[in-house]
């Protein structure tokens, strides 16, 4: 049973566009929500993370929006660049930050 559901499976945007990836979770005990970026042949790398006491967090061009009541969170990539083309995973965990439940991933392609 997938505890974190991610959508869409893939998306294509033009350079400068704002890809938006959505995730939903069921377990209200989750208290840590990171996003990872993965390039082909590489391991996932932490992009940005949020705790449920905050509704929004920005780091550079990446923004997480968090809706605790709806049990949903999303990633926005502002002013997207071709170098942002990668697979993005949302994840969630409770207590121990390292035991993560990952979504299925979203392949983002940013065209020039």
Residues that bind other proteins (CB under 8 A): 4, 6, 34, 36, 41-46, 49, 89, 91, 96-105
**What contacts 75, CB < 8 A, 6 or more positions away?**
20, 21, 35, 47, 48, 62, 63, 64, 88, 90
Q: How many CB atoms lie within 10 A of CB 104?
A: 14
Nearer to other proteins, 19 or 44 (CB): 44
Give least dist CB 18 to other proteins, A: 23
Shortest Å, Cβ 107 to other proteins: 9
């Amino acid at each position: 049973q997938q505890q974190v559901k991610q959508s869409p499976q893939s998306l294509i945007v033009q350079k400068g566009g704002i890809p938006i990836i959505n995730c939903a979770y069921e377990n209200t005990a989750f208290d840590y929500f990171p996003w990872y970026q993965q390039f082909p042949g590489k391991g996932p790398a932490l992009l940005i993370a949020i705790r449920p006491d905050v509704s929004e967090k920005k780091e550079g061009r990446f923004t997480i929006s968090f809706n605790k009541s709806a049990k949903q969170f999303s990633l926005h990539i502002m002013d997207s660049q071709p170098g942002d083309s990668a697979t993005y995973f949302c994840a969630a965990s409770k207590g121990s930050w390292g035991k993560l439940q990952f979504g299925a991933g979203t392949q983002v392609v940013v065209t020039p």
